[in-house]
Chains A and B, each alone.
Chain A
Amino acid sequence: MRTVQRTVEDRALLRDAATIAAAMIAVGASFGAIAIAYGLPAWVPFLMSTVVFAGGSQFLAVGLLAAGNPLAAVFAGLLLNARHLPFGLAVGDALGPRLRTRVIGSHVLTDEVAAFTLAETDPVRRRRVYLIIGATLFTSWNIGTALGVLLGGATGDPGALGLDAAFPAALLALIMPSLRDRAIRTVALTGAAVAVLLTPVLPAGLPVLCALVGLLTLVRRKR
């Protein structure tokens, strides 16, 4: 039965999805434009946005591909994307038991999908949140990529729009409810500090994975 409460929650979810989708279109456009500016053929950004579908690794990989280093593009991209395995472990239950849903749903697992799904505590709604956010982001990212390829440099500088501040703020907003729990806050802030400190010295991707040492604060608490 469709209750009033559920309609209100759905409307809020769609509004949040639209917010992040607008930002994804703009950043996707800058990705498409950068790939073309590097002199790569137009199919490269399209293939990446559909087959890889992980923004950070795509920016990294087009740079390395343009520099004529495809092997480095693969390894650096995979290192950056390794965090999706723990994300799958943490939110994979939201996809339910059906193999087909899990096989298709896995492809749209991103940082934002993990964050939105974790922020939803109701087990029935988690699946809805995961799939709606995943589908919205996949669509908007690819629309953005196409716009960037078509319009090139005319898409504008994402920095001038402050989009580089929008994504970290969005992640922060999504994990904020769990940060109100003291144990989670200690784990997360320790992990974030470790990652920031290691960023200047480790290759991209590894510092974020090192944030998992934040879990060690739990061991100390229990003793």
Chain B
Amino acid sequence: MMIAAIVALGVGTYSMRLGGVLLRGRLELSDALQRVLAMAAAALLAALAGTAALMAGTEFAGVARPAGVLVGGVLAWRKAPFVVVVLAAAAAAALLRLAGVP
């Protein structure tokens, strides 16, 4: 039963991935619609970043994690390199936790 569940989840997930990719190939999309699709993906990614930064399950994620993401976000806004953004966010959250901040 466990193996069936994992395979079902894998096949279902792959179908959605492939479905989107193949559909994109089939459709003749205007430039305006392509722009809307890119915006839709940006909205989904922003939502992923927002929920992952602020929420742990259905609760708020405490202080250290959002603060770390904020540090990374400010650096990204100021065009810091990707490596710096990621490391600074992790380091800020880790140091705050070390200092006892939840």
**A residues at B contact (CB < 8 Å):** 15-16, 19-20, 23, 40, 44, 47-48, 51-54, 57, 61, 65, 70-71, 73-74, 77-78, 81-93, 95, 97, 102-103, 105-107, 109, 111, 114-115, 118, 159-176, 178-179, 183-184, 187-196, 199-201, 207-212, 214-215, 218
Interface pair A188/B39, CB less than 8 Å apart: yes
Say whether A215 contacts B43, CB under 8 Å: yes
Interface size of B in residues (CB-CB distance below 8 Å): 73
Min CB gap B71→A, angstroms: 8
A192–B44 Cα distance when bound, in Å, is 8
B53 and A52 form a contact (CB under 8 A): no
The one of B1, B47, B73 that contacts A70, using a Cβ cutoff of 8 Å: B1
- Majority DSSP secondary structure for residues of B touching A: helix
22 pairs, CB–CB < 8 Å, chain A vs chain B: A15-B82, A54-B13, A70-B5, A78-B9, A81-B16, A85-B16, A87-B17, A87-B44, A114-B41, A165-B89, A165-B92, A167-B52, A169-B72, A169-B88, A170-B86, A172-B46, A175-B45, A176-B73, A187-B43, A188-B46, A207-B47, A212-B44
Q: Is the CB of B13 within 8 A of A77?
A: yes
A202 to chain B: closest residue by CB: B58
**A124 nearest CB across to chain B (Å):** 17
